[in-house]
Amino acid sequence: MRPRRFTATGPLRGRIRVPGDKSISHRSLMLSSLAVGESRVTGLLEGEDVLSTAAAMRAMGADIERTGPGEWRINGVGVGALLQPAQALDMGNSGTSTRLLMGLVASHPITACFTGDASLSKRPMGRVIAPLSEMGATFTAYPGGRLPLMVQGAAPAVPIAYRLPVASAQVKSAVLLAGLNTPGTTTVIEPVPTRDHSERMLRGFGAELTVEIDGEGARVIRLRGEADLKPQVIDVPGDPSSAAFFAVAALLVPGSDLVIENVGLNPTRAALFDVLRQMGGSIEELDARDVGGEPVADLRVRHSPLTGIAVDPAVVPSMVDEFPVLFVAAALATGRTVTTGLEELRVKESDRISAMRAALELAGATVRETEDGLIIDGTGGDPLRGGANHPVVTHLDHRIAMAMAVAGLASKAGVEVDDTRPIATSFPTFEALLAGAMQAA
Ligand code: S3P
């Protein structure tokens, strides 16, 4: 455990750059490992989750080398040529690595065992086991479809048409990645759109992939199997999910005026910034541009009074990882913020609804938990009390730790987080960047 108390020493000012997007970083390593020839990636997130993916792809035959900070070189083996890993694949805390790699293994003639930490071992894998079993893979999992689990890939796998029962980019991606080495056309029907990095990147790597909207408004994604992927040069944009913590911190701490450079603003990811603007937050997009096929801008965020709102549940998939820090913003707003449709938050790295309810209450906020969200009555801009006699419990969840660090900056007596180590899974430079932004004051 590495406990730490967070308090504001001053406003957040100057310019910062957050690390590369986690979703795109995972996919860069996986797809490059399946392309024949050398791919180069810059701006790769070097967090523990992505390093778990790199280790797993190496264990399955890819040649992966770090050539500089955020700079990686990958020599892939080709679709269909993944090797059987000699040992269990340790996924650490990373649900994305686990679910996407289960998809890759499912259509290769290999067997792999997946293990993970205490948080990952509680998370449901049945949602990927179901479609991948239909494709012919065989699974032996712990009760409840949890890790550790063993996958025996099917060769050849059977193409399926799969309608997603939950709005999950991980499930969508697992099926598409399995489809890469499956003869025929694999189809995923997505009634509610989720992050579309897999689709964009598969196309970028040369796969034949189409997206159509059907009569009911669902996205129908078709991928032609036995694909031949071509190596790419990829520049990974900054992670909006990491920028989120600094955006909310700058909105809440008086006197702040911060520019967060190079933030990915893919519409399937960026709803938090719209919601914060609806609440009255001053967030400007500067120098909008395209980086690696994704929309990107610098965000200028200034301290602003916020007003509570009812968050439209339709935006949930486009900000699914940002609710912990939105709850912190709501805790300092004027009036009530109501969130609904957040059932999926209960199966993230922790149950984020109940973890944030407990954490915010401890910091002095007025919060009520419902089955599918939180109802928060804000302080009207006054800092939270903070200073509880025991630390916030983060349950091995990086986003609970960072959200409550932000709450600490907006509190009188500071907020103590029980363990900051999980922050390294997605944002190893978080504490250093925060210290730097506050020093620039
Ligand atoms: C991710 C999808 C989301 C998100 C996770 C990353 C991805 O999970 O929470 O952090 O890269 O596909 P779900 O697909 O389970 O919603």
What does the chain come to in residues?
441
Decide if pLDDT at 440 tops 70: no
CA distance 106 to 181: 9
The pLDDT value given to residue 289: 97
* pLDDT at 351 exceeding the cut of 80: yes
Atom 5 of ligand 1 has which residue's CA nearest to it? 96
Residues 6+ apart with CB under 8 A from 169: 23, 194, 195, 196, 197, 198, 317
Angular region, 297: left φ>0, alpha ψ -120 to 50, beta rest: beta
Q: Which ligand 1 atom is the nearest neighbour of the CA of 169?
A: 14
Average of per-residue pLDDT across 415-427: 98
Is the pLDDT confidence value at 105 over 60? Answer: yes
What does each C-alpha distance from 347 to 146, 186, 292, 342, 413 come to in angstroms? 12, 27, 31, 10, 31
Residues marked active site are found at 321
Q: Report the alpha-carbon distance of residue 222 to residue 199 in Å, rounded.
A: 10
Over residues 351-370, mean pLDDT:
98
In tens, the pLDDT along 3-14 reads: 999 998 899 999
- Å from CA of 325 to ligand 1 middle: 16
Cβ count near 284 (within 10 Å):
12
Please tell me the distance from the alpha carbon of residue 207 to that of residue 316, in angstroms, as a whole number. 29
The predicted pLDDT at position 293 comes to 86
Q: Which CATH code of 2.60.120.260, 2.60.40.180, 3.65.10.10, 3.20.20.70 fits the domain covering 4-20+237-439?
A: 3.65.10.10
Of the candidates 354, 228, 352, 243, the residue with the CA atom closest to the CA atom of residue 301: 243
For the chain, the domains span: 4-20+237-439, 22-235
Taking CB atoms and a 6 Å cutoff, what residues make up the pocket around ligand 1? 23, 96, 168-170, 173, 195, 320-321, 344
Q: Which amino acid is at 218?
A: A
Q: What is the pLDDT of residues 73-97, one digit of tens each?
A: 999 999 999 999 999 999 999 999 9
Distance 381 CA to ligand 1 centre (A): 32
| Average pLDDT value over all residues in the chain | 98
pLDDT of residue 13: 97
3-state secondary structure the chain: CCCEEECCCCCCEEEEECCECHHHHHHHHHHHHHCCEEEEEECCCCCHHHHHHHHHHHHCCCEEEEEECCEEEEEECCCCCCCCCCCCEECCCCHHHHHHHHHHHHCCCCEEEEECCCCHHHCCCHHHHHHHHHCCCEEEEECCCEEEEEEECCCCCCCCEEECCCCCHHHHHHHHHHHHCCCCEEEEEECCCCCCHHHHHHHHCCCCEEEEECCCCCEEEEEECCCCCCCCEEECCECHHHHHHHHHHHHHCCCCEEEEEEEECCCCCCHHHHHHHHCCCEEEEEEEEEECCEEEEEEEEECCCCECCECCHHHHHHHCCCHHHHHHHHHCCECEEECCCCHHHHHCCCCHHHHHHHHHHHCCCEEEEECCEEEEECCCCCCECCCCCCCECCCCCHHHHHHHHHHHHCECCCEEECCCHHHHHCCCCHHHHHHHHHHCC
- Residue 9 is predicted with a pLDDT of 87
Per CATH, 4-20+237-439 and 22-235 having the same topology is answered yes
Residue 292 has pLDDT above 90, yes or no: no
Name the band, by pLDDT with cuts 50, 70 and 90, for residue 441.
low
The minimum-distance atom of ligand 1 relative to the CA of 348 is: 9
Q: What is the mean pLDDT of residues 290-297?
A: 92
| Confidence label for 439 from pLDDT (cuts 50, 70 and 90) | confident
- The answer as to CATH 3.40.50.20 being correct for domain 22-235 is no
Q: Tell me what percent of the residues of the chain surpass a pLDDT of 90.
A: 98
- Bridge partner residues of 259 (DSSP): 15, 300
Q: Mean pLDDT across the stretch 48-67?
A: 98
**Integer Cα distance of 126 and 170 in angstroms:** 12
Q: Does residue 99 surpass a pLDDT of 60?
A: yes
Residue 330 — very low, low, confident or very high, per pLDDT cuts 50/70/90? very high
Work out the end-to-end distance of the chain between its first and last CA atoms, rounded to an integer number of angstroms. Answer: 31
Q: Which residues pair with 39 in a beta bridge?
A: 74
Pocket test for ligand 1, best of 27, 52, 318, 320 (most atoms within 8 A of CB): 320
Model-level pTM? 0.98
By DSSP bridging, strand 233-235 and strand 4-6 are unpaired
Query: What pLDDT shows up at residue 10?
Result: 94
Residue identifier of the C-alpha nearest atom 15 of ligand 1: 168
Computed on alpha carbons and rounded to an integer, the radius of gyration of the chain in Å comes to 21
Contact 234, 262 (CB under 8 A): no
State residue 152 phi and psi, 5-degree precision.
-110, 115
Residue 361 banded pLDDT, cuts 50, 70, 90: very high
Residue 169 alpha carbon to ligand 1 centre in Å: 6
